[in-house]
Amino acid sequence: MINGSRLLDFGSGRAPGIVPGSAGPLATPMLALDLGGAAYEIPLVALPYLGHGLAPSLFAPGSLRRAETPGRLPVTVTYRGKAPALPGVTITRASGGTARGYLTQAGASAFGAALARQFAADHARGSYGQDGMFSGGVSVSLAGAPAAAPRPAPAFPMHTLTVTGANMAGRPDTGGVVLVFNADNASLFSDPIESVNFFYHGVARFSVPAGHYWAIGIFQHRRRGTPYFVTHSVVVPQVTVSRNVTMHMAARSASSRVQMVTPRPSVPNPYNLTFEVRHPTPHGPAVALWFLGEGGGLFFNQTTRRPTAGTLQTYVFAELDSPPGAAGTPYQYDVAYADTSGLIGSQRHLVRQDGLATVHSRYYSDAPTTGWFSRYGLFAAQENWGVLYQQMKVPRRETEYLTGNPAILWSDSYEQTSQNLAGGQADDARTFHAGQRLTENWNAYPLHAGYNTDLAGAANPRPALPSASRAGDTLTLDVMPFSDSTRGHISATGFFGGLAGPFGKITGHYEIDQNGKVIASGDPLKGFKEVGPSGEFHASVPLRPRPSKVRFVLGATRTAPVYTLSTASQTVWTWRSARNSGARVPAGWGCAFQPTTGIAVGHACTVQPMLTLGYRVAGLSLGGSAPAGAQAVRLTVGHLQLARAAPVTRAKAAVSFDGGKTWHHAKVTGSTGSYTASFTAPAGARVSLRASAADAAGGTITETILSAYQTAS
C-alpha cells in the first residue's frame, strides 16, 4: 500500500491481514470500508484526500493485487506544469501532465510518512489536496485502474444535505471528515468519493437524492505527548432528506471511550483495537466501516433512537497484553462483543473471567527469532474483516483469554520469522466456550503433511476443500507441507515460502498413480502449476471410471537459517477409490476452488479415505529438542474429515540418527489409531522418523521426516 503497509490478500478482494509498514504510528491506523460490496482499506490519514489527490483504486485490495508486480506498485501521477518529485515515488516517464512511476516497499513507507506529515499540516486548516505534496493539481492513482467515468446528470431531483460540525472545544470544526450513505439502498449513494467530505469552518455539504441517510463524523486531535491521534466518532443513525436539510455533529458527544476492563492488569495493544459500524439496508447491500489500530483512543457517541430504514449494528474486537515486566507467563486478552439492538451504547466493556476461554499456547521455533501473529474474532454478520499483524519473539509461552461465545469465530496465524512472514502455522476458524480450558501447540515438531479441516461447520466463512476428493472421475488433491499436528493447523506459507514473498529454498515433487500406472508427476513449484492459493500442493487429475487403487506421493524440503528441523518430508498414501455420483459434502465445505477468489465452491464430491498421521514428542522443548535417552513419540492415525473410514489395523515406526542413511526399528504399542513409538536416542542427535500405518480397507500411509526433532546435548 502507499503507506508502506502490506495487505495479505488471498484473492477474495478483502484483506484478512494488514502488516504495518515503517511509516510511523500516525500512518498506521486504517479505515476499512465495505460500500455496497466494494471493499477498501484506507489509512485514516489518506481518507480526506480521496478525490483530492488520491484515487480510491489505491486502496482496493483486488485492484492492488492485480496491478502489483513483485516489489513494485505502479502508479500514475497527473499534474499541472512541472512534473512533481513525490517522496518515495520513482518516476519512469513524464510528459504532458501525466507521469508514470512506481513505489517499492521502502518508497511506499517514505510516501506514507510524508502523507502523515501532510495530513497533520492540512488537518488544522482543512486544505487537503491543495498544497504541499498535492500542490499544482497533483493526483496519484493506481496505474492501469479504469479512469473514473463522467458522471451523468442525475435522473432525479437532488437536494443539499448540509452537515455542521463542532470540535472538542465547541467551535466550528475544520479538518474533520464526514461520511454519508443512503440508508434505504446503499447502492444509490456509497461511492468512496461522493460519500466522503470534510468540515471547513464547521460546514460540509453533500448533494443527494431524496431518501433516508445515515452519517458518521470523524474528529481527530493529537494526543498530547504521544505520536497518536485521538478519534471521536459521531454517528447520526438517520436523517430524512426530502428537501434541503441541515444536521449537526458535535465531537463532544462522542464521549464513550472504547475500552475493556479486564480481570488481570492489562495494557491495550495500540494497533489491535477494531470497531465496526455496520448498517444493513432494506434494499441492496449493507455498508460497513471498520476502524483498525486506533492507538490514541477511540470514542463514540451513544444514540437513543433506532433507525427506521434498515438498522444499526456495532462490533468491537480488542487485544490487551500483560503489562511489561509482569511476573509469570505472559498473557493476553482477546475479546469481542456485538450490539445488534439498533442503538450505540456505552463502549466500556467489563470483561468477566467466567465469560472467557483460557488457552495455554506454546509457540515453537528451532531458532530464536522475531515472528508475527494475528488473532481476531468475527461474528457471522461481519463479511469484511481486517487485523493488524503484530510482532512476537519466539519461542514463547503465553496464556490467552478469549471471549467464550459460540457466535464468535476466532482465527489465528503465527509466522515464524518477520522476514517475508515465513514459516509457522495458520488456524481454522473455531469457536470457544466460556470456562473452556485447553492447550494449543503452534509449530510443534515434527512438521509434515497437513490436511484441511472445518472446525466451524456450516458457519465456516471460507468453505474448506477436502485434502482428497472425487467428483465423478476427477480426483482433487490439496495437501499442505510443513504443518504441525494440531487439528485445524496447516502451514501458514507452504510452498510459497513467505506470505509477503519468497523465503529460503524450497523444493518439491509429487506423483499420482492409478492401479500402478503414473497419471501425473513432477515438480509442483515449476511455474507453480500445482500450488494452491495458500501455498499448498493442489492438483486435479482424471481417473478411469472403474474402481481402482490410487497412490499419491508428495515430497517437500526447505532450508533457511531458521529451518534446522523437519527440513524434508515425503509421504506416500494409497487407498481404494470409486465413483460415487450421489455424494455431497455438507455446508462449510466445497469441492473445487473458484479461480478468481480461491474459495471452495460446489458440493457434489466424495471425500477419499486418505489416512493421516499426527505426532507428539514427549518432553519436547519450545526449541524442538527432547532430553536424550529414552524417547516416546505418540502416533495418532486417522482419516480425512468426512471420509468413510475403515478401522486402523496397524502402525510401525523407525528412526535414524544419521540423516536417513540407516534406520532402526522402534517399538510400537497401542491400537485403533493411538500408538506410542519407543526408542533410545543419543545426546545431540537429529532424530529422523519414519512412520507407517494401514486400515482394514487396504489404505496405507508411510511418512518419512528428516531431522524431525533433536535431542539435547
Answer for the pair 34, 386: CB distance below 8 angstroms, yes or no.
no
Q: 262 pLDDT band (50/70/90 cuts)?
A: very high
Is 377 inside any structural domain? no
Q: 10 pLDDT band (50/70/90 cuts)?
A: low
Whose CA is closest to 568, among 507, 617, 486, 628? 507
pLDDT tens for 141-170 read 999 876 555 555 566 789 999 999 999 999
Residue type, 313: Q
Q: What pLDDT, on the 0 to 100 scale, is given for residue 162?
A: 98
pLDDT at residue 705 is higher than 50: yes
User: What is the average pLDDT value for the chain, to the nearest integer?
Assistant: 92
Q: What pLDDT, on the 0 to 100 scale, is given for residue 382?
A: 82
CA gap 286, 150 in Å, rounded: 26
Is 627 inside any structural domain? yes
CA gap 555, 448 in Å, rounded: 10
Q: What pLDDT, on the 0 to 100 scale, is given for residue 144?
A: 84
120 vs 239, more confident: 239
Answer for the pair 12, 84: CB distance below 8 angstroms, yes or no.
no
List residues bridging with 30 in a β-sheet: 43, 292
pLDDT at residue 294 is higher than 80: no
Q: Count how many domains the chain has.
A: 2
Is 34 inside any structural domain? yes
Is 298 inside any structural domain? no
Dihedrals φ, ψ of 233, to 5°? Answer: -115, 125
Q: What pLDDT, on the 0 to 100 scale, is given for residue 13?
A: 45
Q: What pLDDT, on the 0 to 100 scale, is given for residue 24?
A: 77
CA gap 14, 17 in Å, rounded: 9
Is 267 inside any structural domain? no
Domain boundary among 109, 127, 142: 142
pLDDT tens for 374-397 read 898 989 888 656 677 889 999 999
pLDDT tens for 480-537 read 999 999 999 999 999 999 988 889 999 999 999 999 999 999 999 999 999 999 999 9
pLDDT at residue 293 is higher than 80: no
Q: What pLDDT, on the 0 to 100 scale, is given for residue 313?
A: 96
Beta strands in 367-458 (DSSP E): 369-379, 390-394, 396-403, 408-415, 425-427, 437-442, 448-450
Domain boundary among 105, 123, 142: 142
147 vs 174, more confident: 174
Domain with 668, as residue range(s), is: 456-711
Cα 68 to Cα 57, 83, 170, 470, distances in angstroms: 12, 23, 45, 35
Is 196 inside any structural domain? no
Q: 355 pLDDT band (50/70/90 cuts)?
A: very high
pLDDT tens for 25-82 read 777 888 888 886 788 889 999 999 999 999 999 998 888 888 888 789 999 999 999 9
Cα 658 to Cα 113, 509, 555, 630, distances in angstroms: 52, 23, 19, 18
pTM of the model: 0.93
Domain boundary among 100, 118, 142: 142
Answer for the pair 322, 267: CB distance below 8 angstroms, yes or no.
yes
Q: What pLDDT, on the 0 to 100 scale, is given for residue 22?
A: 77
What is the average pLDDT across 112-124? 92
Answer for the pair 361, 486: CB distance below 8 angstroms, yes or no.
no
- Give Dmax over CA atoms of the chain in angstroms: 86
pLDDT tens for 641-671 read 999 999 999 999 999 999 999 999 999 999 9
pLDDT at residue 680 is higher than 60: yes
Which residues, 6 or more positions from 21, have their beta carbon under 8 angstroms from its beta carbon?
1, 3, 4, 5, 6, 27, 28, 105, 108, 109, 112
Is 450 inside any structural domain? no
pLDDT tens for 631-648 read 999 999 999 999 999 999
**Residue 87: HSE in the Cβ half-sphere, 13 Å Cα cutoff:** 19
Is 89 inside any structural domain? yes
